[in-house]
Structure 1
C-alpha cells in the first residue's frame, strides 16, 4: 500500500504504522541526519518487555527513591506519601501515552515530532528547553551515583577515603567518584542507542536488589513493619497536609514531565501501538509504586533508628550509617547500576537528539550525549539536590510547569488540530506545510508562553521571592503542572482550529 505525498512517498501498514518508501526527498535536507531520520518499520523491533525493562531501569534509581523519601522528610505519613506518588504517576501517564503514539506511528523522535506544531525551526524551542532540563537531571543522577561509589569505596578502604581532605566543601575522593561515574556513562552513550537498549535489558531485573537489601536491613533493625506503619504524619490530614499535597503532587508529575514529552525517542522503535502502550502501562505505575513503597518504608524506618537526620532521604548516605559493610556494598553496587540505567535512558537519549536537531549536520547523537554530560556538570547538581524543599518546590515545580505547557501544545496539535495525521517528508522540508512563518509557528509559541507564565509566573520559596515572581499568580504555582498543561492545550486548540490547512487529508492518499 502506498500513499503519494508531496516531497516523498509514505506507506501505511495495516496496523497504522507509517514509513517513507522514498527517502531521497529528505536525505539532502539540512534538517536531516541519520539519528533524526524516521526509523524503517523493519527496524522497529522493541517489544513489550523492552518498554517494561526501560521503565524499570528508569524508575528504579536513587533520585526516584529520594523523590518518595523527600515526602517523608517533609512530614507525610507512609499512606499520604504513597497516595501522592501513585496519583501523580497515573496522571502523567496520560500525556505520555498521547505523545508516544506519534513515535510508534511515524518512527520519528521527539524533536522532529515537535516540528509539526512549533515549525521546523521553532521545534528547537521545545527541544532545547527539554534538553537543558535533562542536562540538569543528568548532573543530579551522576552526583548521587558518585555519592554511592564514594560510600562503597569508603566501606572497603576505610576512614582515609571517607575523611579525605576537602575541596570545595566536599572530600576530594567524592569528586573523584563523581568523575568516574561520569566517564563510565559517557563511554556507554558513545556506543549509541543499541548499546543503551542492551544495557537496560540486563540491568532491569537487577536494580531492585539494592533497594530490597536496604529495606530488609532497616526492617530487621526497626523491629518489623509495625513500628514503621504506626508512625503518624507530622502534617495530619488538615490544612497542613493539603498545603503540602498540591505542590508535592505537581512535583510527582513533573518528575516524569520530561519523558511525557520525549517518549517518541523510544516508541519510534516500537513494534506496534499495543506493544508500547502495554509496556508503559505495566512499567511506569508498577515500578514507581514499588520504589515508592521501598523508599517510604526505608526512610520511615531510618527515622526510627537514627532520628530526624536530614541525610536519611538519600539512600547512599543512609546506607553509610549501616554496620554491615558487605550488605552496604552489595546494595549500593545495585543502586549504581540502577542509576546508570536510568540516567542513560531518561537524561542522555533525549538531549542527544535535541542538540542534534539544533545542528543536524554538525552534532551526532554521540556528540549530543557528550554535550549533555558537560552541561550536567556545569549546572552544579550538588546544589539542586541539597535540600528536599528546593528539590521539590523549586527545581521540580518550576521546570514541570514550563514543560507542561509544551506538552499541552503537542497533545492539542497532534490529537485535536492535526488528528494524528503527519506528512513525514515535510517534517524535514524547508518551505513545506510545517514551515509556517520562517520556520516558526507563532500560535504554538504563544500557547507555550501563556501556559508557562500562568504555571510558574507566581513561583515562590527557595530562590524565588516569598510573594511570588508575579504576586497575583502565586496561588497558581501550587498547581503549576496542571495549569501549564491545560492552559497551553486550550490556547493552542483555540488559535489553531480556525486554520485547518495543516490537518487536511493527504493528497492522493490511497489505502489498501
Structure 2
C-alpha cells in the first residue's frame, strides 16, 4: 500500500497520557516566553510620546486581547490534541496548509535567530571583559546548539526548564528595574510623572504593535496546549480550559507590560533602550554573572517554546512525505534562522513586526471562525490524516480559507498601523460568507452535516483521537 504522507508520529493528536503540563507549569512557560529583550525597544519607542502609565496601559490592553485570542485558539489543543499545522488542514486543505504554516514557521526561525543573537552578544560582552576573547558568532553557534539540543528532548525538558527559568527571570527583572530607576533618579528624572511630547507615535499604534508582537503565538498556541492537562467529560469551556486561559491572562499581560516599562525607563535614564547593555557597563563580578543569567534564561525559554517547537512542527507537517522527524525539524529551524541574518532584521524590527503581524491577524480570524462558528468546536479529526478525506477540497486546497486569508492580509498591510483591528474581523467575515454560501455546499463537512454531533468532540466527551502511525 502507498504510504500515507499526512501522518508522522510527531503530528498526530496527543493522547491523555501525553498531557503532562499543569496550569502552574504552563504559567512558568509563559513567563519564560514573555520576557523578550526586543520588548524593551517597544517601551522605549512609546515613552517619548506619552506617560509611563499610558504606555503601560497600551501594552497591557494589547496583551490582554492577544491572551484572549490565544486562549480561544488554545482550545484546539485542549479539545482535540492537535498541533497548529495539523488543524490548519481544515480551513486551508491538506495541501494549502503549507503556505500559511510554513510562513509562520520561517518567521519563528527568524525570531529564534534574533533571540539567539541577543543572547550571544551578551555572553560575548562578558567573556570579552573577563578573558579578552571577543567573537560573538562563536557564542551564537554555541548558544544555538544548546537551545536546539534542549528542545529536541521534548516538552518534558521544556516544562522542567521553565520551573527554574520563570522565578529567576522575574527576580532578576525586578532587580534590573530597581537599578535602572535609580539611574533615572540620579539624572533628575521622575519616571512616574514624566510625559513625552513627541508626536512620533500614539497610544493606539503602540497597542497595535504589541498585538503584532504576539500574533504568531496567538495562532499556533495549540502546539503547547495539546500537552496541557484538562478535565475529561467537561462541556463548560472555562472549566475545561482553566489550565490554559488563566496562565495566558496572568502571565502575558503582566510580564510584557513590566518588560516594556523597563525598556522605557532605561531609555529615559540613559538614552539606551536596552537595559542589559546599560547595566553591563556598570556591573562587575557577580552582578555581571546575574545579568548573563537573565539574558540566557530569557532567550532560551522563549526560543524553546515560542520558536523552535512551532517551527519544527510546521516543517514536520510539510515534510511528512519524507518522514521528517521533530528533532530534524528543530535543527532545520536553527539553520534557517541563522541564514536570515537576524542581526540585520533586528534593525528593522517594527517593519518585521508589522508585516507578519498583519498576515497572522488575518490567519487568527480564519482559525477562530472555522473552529467556533463554522464547526462549533467539532472536527472530523481522522479525516485530517486521510489523503482522500473531506479536507482535500480542490486538489488539497480550501479556496475559501485561502481567499479570506489573502484578502484580509493585504488589507491589514495597507492599514498596517492598525493591522489586528483590520485583518482579524475582515478575515472572519470573508471566511464565514465563503464557507456558508459556497464551500460547504460544494464540499460538505461531516461535523456540520451531522448537526454538530458529539462524535466529533474530543476531551469534552472523554475521547482520545488515536491515529495509527
Query: Shorter chain as normaliser: what TM range?
Result: 0.7 to 0.9
- Cα deviation code 1:134-191 (max 9, x no counterpart): 111111101111111112223323xx34xx5xxxxxxxx1222222211211221232
- How far residue 28 of structure 1 moved from its aligned partner, in angstroms, is 6.0
* CA distance in structure 2 between the partners assigned to 1:508 and 1:79 by the alignment: 48
Q: For residue 315 of structure 1, what is the aligned residue in structure 2? A: 275
**Gapped regions of structure 1 (runs ≥ 5):** 1-26, 165-172, 459-475
- Using the TM superposition, give the Cα deviation of residue 509 of structure 1 relative to its aligned residue in structure 2, in angstroms: 4.0
Q: Does 1:454 align with 2:422?
A: no
Does the CA contact (< 8 Å) of 1:213 and 1:331 recur in 2? no
Higher relative contact order (CA 8 A, sep 6+): 2
- Find 1:65's aligned residue among 7, 16, 40: 40
TM-score under structure 1 normalisation? 0.81
1:255 aligned to 204, 208, 213, which one? Answer: 213
1-structure distance, mates of 2:303, 2:454: 44
Following superposition, the deviation at residue 294 of structure 1 comes to 3.1
Aligned twin of 2:430: 491
Q: What SS does the aligned partner of 1:234 have?
A: coil
Q: Which moved more, 1:495-504 or 1:425-434?
A: 495-504
Paired with 2:157 and 2:337, the residues of 1 have a C-alpha distance of 21
Moved more, 60-69 or 264-273: 60-69
Q: Which residue of 2 aligns with 1:296?
A: 264
Specify the SS of the correspondent of 2:306. helix
The reply on whether 1:391 has 2:349 as its aligned counterpart is: yes
Q: Does 2:69 correspond to 1:101?
A: no
Unaligned runs of 5+ in 2: 231-240, 463-469
Instruction: Summarize deviations over 1:277-316 as a string: whole Å, max 9, x none.
Output: 222222222222232333333333x33xxxx3xxx11233
TM-score, reference length from structure 2: 0.88
Quote the residue 2:399 is aligned against: 442
Match of 2:222 in 1: 264
Match of 1:149 in 2: 123
Q: 1:40 aligns with which of 15, 19, 25?
A: 15
Corresponding position: 1:412 with 2:369: yes
Which residue matches 1:168? none
CA distance in 2, matches of 1:257, 1:154: 37
Give matches, 1:48-447, under 5 Å: 48-72=23-47, 75-157=49-131, 160-161=132-133, 164=134, 173-223=135-185, 227-235=190-198, 240=199, 243-272=201-230, 273-300=241-268, 302-303=269-270, 308=271, 312-360=272-320, 361-386=322-347, 390-392=348-350, 394-447=351-404
Cα distance in 2 for residues equivalent to 1:201 and 1:289: 21
CA RMSD of aligned residues (A): 2.3
Q: Which residue of 2 aligns with 1:463?
A: none
The answer on whether the counterparts of 2:90 and 2:391 sit within 8 Å (CA) in structure 1 is yes
In the alignment, the residues of structure 2 paired with residue 262 and residue 490 of structure 1 have an alpha-carbon distance, to the nearest angstrom, of: 21
Question: 1:47–1:276: 8 Å Cα contact kept in structure 2?
Answer: no
Give the conservation status (yes or no) of the 8 Å contact 2:8–2:323. no
What is the CA–CA distance in structure 1 between the aligned matches of 2:172 and 2:185, rounded to whole Å? 20
CA contact (8 A) 1:447 1:491 kept: yes
Query: Normalized per residue, which structure has more helix?
Result: 2
Count residues in correspondence: 439
Looking at structure 2, the residues matched to 259 and 292 of structure 1 have their Cα atoms a distance apart, in angstroms, of 18
**1:42 Cα shift?**
2.5
3-state secondary structure, aligned to 2:114: helix
